[in-house]
Amino acid sequence: MSIAGAGPTPALTEKHQILRSTRVVTFVTLLSRFFGYVRDLAVAMLLGTSLVADAFVIAFRLPNLLRRLMAEGAMTGAFIPVFTSYRAERPQAEAWDFARRMFWTLATVLAGVTLLGIVFAPELVRLFTLFSPSREWSLAVLLTRITFPYCLLVALTALAGAVLNTVRVFGLPASVPIFLNLAIIAAAVAAWLLGFAQPAVALAAGVVVGGLLQLGVQLPALVRRGMPFGARLGFAHSGVRRVARLMLPAFAGVGIYQVNVLVGTVFASQGEGWISALYYADRLMEVALGVYAISVATVVLPVMSQQAAEKKLPEMRGTLTFSLRNVAFVVVPAAVGLMVLRDPLVRVLFEHKAFSSSSTQLTAWA
C-alpha cells in the first residue's frame, strides 16, 4: 500500500540522477566535440591530406595508442571500483592516500614509457609505416619525439578525472579536452599567421601545451576535495596492486580496438594522405557516435561501482539495462545517418583550403 505524498523510490531517484548528470556531461562533451571539430578543420585547412599531415597523425596517434592501452580505457575502469570501495569501507584519509599513491605510481611508470618512446621514436614510426619503407619519415620521428610527453600528461589527466567522477564531479573532467583543442587551434592559427616553414611542429607543440592545461585545470579541484599531492609511490600498496590486476583483463578489450587502429594505419601508409584521411574519418565517427555513449558511460561507471560496493546487485543490473537502452536509442540512428550522409558531411565539414575534393573522397571512403 502506497503512502500519499511519499517521495520517489531510491531506484527512480538514481535513474533521475543518472539522466541529469548525463545531460550535463553530454552538453560539455558536445562543446568539446565542437572545439574538436574546429581543431580538425584547422589541421585539415593547414595540412590537408598530405605527407606532412600523415606525419602529424602518426605522431599524435602513437602516444594516444599507449595512453588508451595503459591509462584511459583499462586504468580508469579498474581504478574507479577500487577507489569507490576504499571510500565506502575505509577512512577517507586512507582512500585519498591510495589515490595519491596511484597518481605517483602511474606518473613514474609513464615517465619511463615516455622516455623510451622518445629514444625509440624511429622504430615506432617504422612500425606504423611498414608498407612504405622507401618514404622519408624523418618529420614523423621529430613530431613523435615532441608529442610523446603527452602520453604521460593525458594519462594523469585521465586518473584525475576518474577520481573526480568517483566523487560525482562530472562537468570539469568532461570539459578538459576543450583545453587540448584550444591549444592546437592556437598553434594552427599561429603557424598560419606567422608563416611557419613546418606548421606540423607548431601543432605538435600545441599537443603538449594542451596536455599540460588538461592536467592543470583539474588539480585545484582535487586539492579542494582533500587529495594530498606529496610524492608517495605505491608499487607495494595493496590498492595499487589490485588496480594493476584488474587492468590485465581490460587490456584485451581495449587492446583489440587499438590493434585495429594500428593495423589500419599500417595499411594506410601505402598511399600519400591515406593515414590522415583515416584519421579524419575516425574523428567524424567519434563525434557522431561517441558523444552520448561516452557521456552515459562516464556517469554510470561510478554509480554501478557504488552499487557493487554496497552489494546492490539487482539495482546494478537495472542501471546497466537502463543505460544500454538509452545509448542504443541514440547511437543506432546516428550510425545509420553517418553511413548514408558520409560524402556531404565530409564535404561540408572539411573541404576548405588544403583539404581538396580528392581529400573528401579519401575521407568519405576511409
CA distances from 257 to 64, 251, 263, 333 (A): 13, 10, 10, 22
Question: Residue 204 has which C-alpha cell?
Answer: 605538435
Q: Decide if 243 is inside a domain.
A: yes
How confident is the model at residue 255, as a pLDDT? 67
Question: Residue 266 has which C-alpha cell?
Answer: 599500417
| Higher local confidence (pLDDT), 303 or 52 | 52
pLDDT tens-digit map of 75-90: 888 898 999 999 988 9
Q: Decide if 6 is inside a domain.
A: no
Sign of the CA dihedral 90, 92, 98, 99? positive
Fill in the amino acid letter for 43. V
Beta-carbon contacts of residue 183 (< 8 Å; ≥ 6 apart): 206, 207, 209, 210, 213
Alpha-carbon dihedral angle through residues 27, 30, 35, 39, given to the nearest 10 degrees:
160
| Higher local confidence (pLDDT), 107 or 326 | 107
For the chain, how many structural domains are there in total? 1
Q: Decide if 176 is inside a domain.
A: yes
Between CA 311 and CA 317 the distance in angstroms is 11
pLDDT tens-digit map of 217-239: 999 999 999 899 888 999 999 99
Residue located via cell numbers 576518474: 162
Between CA 342 and CA 283 the distance in angstroms is 13
Q: Decide if 299 is inside a domain.
A: yes
pTM of the full structure: 0.79
Q: Decide if 351 is inside a domain.
A: yes
How confident is the model at residue 14, as a pLDDT? 62
Question: Residue 324 has which C-alpha cell?
Answer: 544500454
Question: Residue 171 has which C-alpha cell?
Answer: 562537468
Q: Decide if 1 is inside a domain.
A: no
Q: Which domain holds residue 347?
A: 12-364
How confident is the model at residue 13, as a pLDDT? 65
Return the closest-CA partner of residue 234 out of 244, 225, 224, 226. Answer: 244
